[in-house]
Structure 1
Amino acid sequence: MVTVAILVTLRDQLPDLGSLLTVWQELDLGWAAAAVVAGFVSQAAFAEQQRLLLAGLGVRLPRDSAIALTVSGAAVSMAVPAGAAVATAFTFRTFRRYGATTPVATAVTVVSGVVSMLSLALLYAFGWLISSDLETVPWRPAVIALAVAALGYVLWRFRTALSPSPGSRLGRFVAAAARTTAEMAAIPSRRWFSIFTAGLAKWVLDLFCLAAAATACHATLDWWRIAVIYLGIQIVRQIPLTPGGTGLIEVVMLAALVTAGCSHPVAAAIVVLYRLISMWLVLLMGIPAYLWLRRDLR
């Protein structure tokens, strides 16, 4: 219903099919190929993040199987209602079948999501800082660092008073978080750098996929504006109204590109190309990836 409402609102901005085909006929195939490669390597980077987490806890997950798991899990999350929860359960069971204990599989599943969100937050923070006028506001990064340090000290200083009772729901959550932290403490510190690098690479490559798709369609926008649109779309992606954000992401991205200065046909061509790579190609690869996993597990 939400998608239909947005489509009705934007019906006057949707281009005719002839204009869209004209843009596609002039597509820069080199940049389109770069977008496809970036989209695939983005999935591989997330797979490497999970593989490194498991390896740090003594569980061997082959690199090709890690990629197959990531692609099939992403396909599940895009294809079914409540796909994120279903994909998480599928990933957890696969970790167990590769030899991870229940605490290790739980810890990796949770921490992998946390690393991914922290990497995205780091990308947001980096964009915010470089877009700020640091000459006129030189104290902004220092204030942020001091605020984080002060909050950390307060939480540590009053950690006993803030501890909930063990029998409460919050107490059980804290206990589970403590177990996860204990599992993660076994991972060498130098490996964490590789884990966070893989997590950040996932988002940067996906952003490059969108920027390459826009360049392939001869968009007049600079890459900085495309990055702003991309980061905004990641917020929309978290709204679980449709599987994989189908419909919602497309219409919001179309509106953002048109507002930023793209013509309607070019904006529509960018949306179609990016979603073909980031969603429909993943869905097509999902079944072969799942079959590869089944064969490997045998």
Structure 2
Amino acid sequence: MTANGDPAGEPAPRASTVEQGRRKFWWVKWLLGAALLALLIGEGVYLWPRLHESWRKLTEIHWGWVAACIWLQALSMSGFGRVQKQLLHAGGVDVSQRKSVAVVYGATAMSVTLPAGQVFSTAFTYRQTRRWGASPIVASWQLVISGVIATAGLALLGVGGALLVGNQVGPFKLILSLAAVAALIWAGNYISRNPGSLEKVLRRLLALVNRVRKRPADHGMAKAAEILAQLESVDLGKRDGVWVAGWAVVHRFADVACLGAACYAVGAEPKLAGLLIAFTAGKAVGSIPFAPGGIVYVDATLIYGLTAGAGLPAAQAVAAAFVYRMVSFILVAIVGWIVFAFLFRTPSADEVAYEKEFETRRTL
């Protein structure tokens, strides 16, 4: 390092080169901003004639279905709390369901309301699991596995929706679905018996990707090896695995049912296949951290999915998306911050140490 903080041996004008590159592409952010503005204007023009009818749908809302929507969302959150609880149990950490769900609510509130909320929520979950007695390896393993389970569940919902398109399941689709499940089970068993095989596959894939990106063949392998080590660090037994899978199903299907209840609350009768696809698309788009909670683009995705896939008129789709987002986004965030204020607002003595530990492991 030089006295100015620059790496020794690096050419001095490196920073100016970066600045020149930024000035060269100054127009990109303006172009993206203009495109987003045009999208919002276009969406407003498209939806404006239907907003009055959507408002009428909301004034005629079926409150029984709204109550069901809220209950199903609470069940979904509780299901994910059970997943977290069971994973920690597999790692030798016993925690009550109440504490686990409280952390899920707090982490979700951070994730959907704060800029870079996913980072804050992950760090928050890591700190709490460490306070419960989990080792750094178990705490990291739980985060990785729960993320894998959530992603896999979402992917299976999307595949299920695609297979159900047409409102019928023929023999070919049924055989294809069973074959896919059997393949996943076989792959899981094979990897558990041959843990080195997954590393070989990842190494080949990374080499291929790095070749396309013109980077060293082993670029990113250290991080992949660390994740694999975390995956293999705790043995998820059959009993725990069954419970985790079961509660993961509850978590996802209760959330889908929440969206369905929101549709019925405004008098709509969505098609199951379209409902699954709209839900999957909305959740997938929501993982892109453009704005807290995916405001605007998640709503637009849900409205389009419900209209194009689930067969809802535009007015009902807007109203249903509004009800669902009020419950799954706004209400959950409010409850999460209330839980955080009452249970987690006061920092513990080891909070700073766990924060530094998390940052160290995240940047490895």
Q: CA shift at 1:203, angstroms?
A: 1.1
Letter in 1 for 2:103: L
The separation in 1 between residues aligned to 2:44 and 2:173, in whole angstroms, is: 43
Give the conservation status (yes or no) of the 8 Å contact 1:98–1:297.
no
Aligned twin of 1:39? 73
- 1:239 is aligned to 288
Provide the residue aligned with 1:282 in structure 2: 332
Distance 2:105 2:83 in 1: 14
Instruction: Say if 1:237 and 1:102 are closer, same or farther in 2 by CA, change over 3 A.
Output: same
Structure 1 equivalent of residue 46 of structure 2: 13
2:107 maps to 1:57? no
CA 1:221–1:124 in structure 2 vs 1: closer, same or farther (change >3 Å)? closer
**Rg larger for:** 2
2:222 aligned partner: 172
CA contact (8 A) 1:15 1:265 kept: no
The equivalent of 2:321 in structure 1 is 271
Q: Aligned pair in 2 of structure 1 residues 189, 13: CA closer, same or farther (>3 Å)?
A: same
Change beyond 3 A, Cα 1:140–1:217? same
1:210 to 259, 262, 285: 259
Offset of residue 128 of structure 1: 3.8
SS in 2 for 1:12: helix
Assess if the C-alpha contact under 8 Å between 1:95 and 1:105 holds in 2.
Answer: yes
Name the aligned partner's letter for residue 289 of structure 1. Answer: V
Contact 1:107 1:183 in 2 (8 A): yes
Q: Does 1:258 align with 2:291?
A: no
**What's the secondary structure of 2:46's corresponding residue?**
coil
2:86 & 2:321 partners in 1: Cα distance?
33
Give the Å deviation of 1:34: 0.4
Deviations 1:79-132 (A, max 9, x none): 112211221111111111111111111111111111111222232333344448
Task: Give CA-to-partner distance per residue, 1:53-94, whole Å, 9 cap, x none.
Answer: 111212122211111110110010111122112211111111
CA contact (8 A) 2:111 2:292 kept: yes
For 1:234 and 1:135, the matched residues in 2 are separated by: 30
How far apart are 1:138 and its partner, in Å?
7.4
Q: Output the CA distance in 2 between the equivalents of 1:113 and 1:59.
A: 19
Q: Number of residues paired by the alignment?
A: 294
1-structure distance, mates of 2:294, 2:342: 27
How do 1:1-298 residues align onto structure 2 when only pairs under 5 Å count? 1=33, 4-15=37-48, 18-131=52-165, 134-135=170-171, 140-141=176-177, 144=180, 159=197, 170-185=220-235, 187-260=236-309, 261-294=311-344
Contact 1:221 1:262 in 2 (8 A): yes
**Matched residue of 1:100: which SS?**
coil
Note the C-alpha offset of 1:228: 2.2
1:97 and 1:297 in contact (8 A); partners too: no
Deviations 1:193-235 (A, max 9, x none): 1111111211111100010000110114333322221122222
Contiguous gaps of at least 5 residues in structure 2: 1-32, 204-217, 349-364
Residue 262 of structure 1: how far off its partner (Å): 2.9
Structure 1 stretch 241-250 or stretch 132-141: which is displaced more? 132-141
Q: Which segment drifts farther, 40-49 or 132-141?
A: 132-141
Task: Point out where structure 1 has 5 or more consecutive residues left out of the alignment.
Answer: none
Q: Structure 1's 49 and 5: CA in aligned 2 closer, same or farther, altered over 3 A? A: farther
Q: Distance in 2 between matches of 1:106 and 1:100?
A: 9
SS of structure 1 residue aligned to 2:267: coil
Amino acid at match of 1:99: G
Alpha-carbon distance change, 242 to 56 in structure 1, aligned in 2, over 3 angstroms? same
Greater length-normalized contact order (CA 8 Å, ≥ 6 residues apart): 1
TM-score, normalised by the number of residues in structure 2? 0.70
Structure-2 separation of matches of 1:41 and 1:24: 24
Whether the 8 Å CA contact 1:15–1:268 is kept in 2: the answer is no
- Summarize deviations over 1:132-162 as a string: whole Å, max 9, x none: 8643577645775797769997996994976
Task: Mark the CA change 1:136 to 1:119 in structure 2 (over 3 Å): closer, same or farther.
Answer: closer
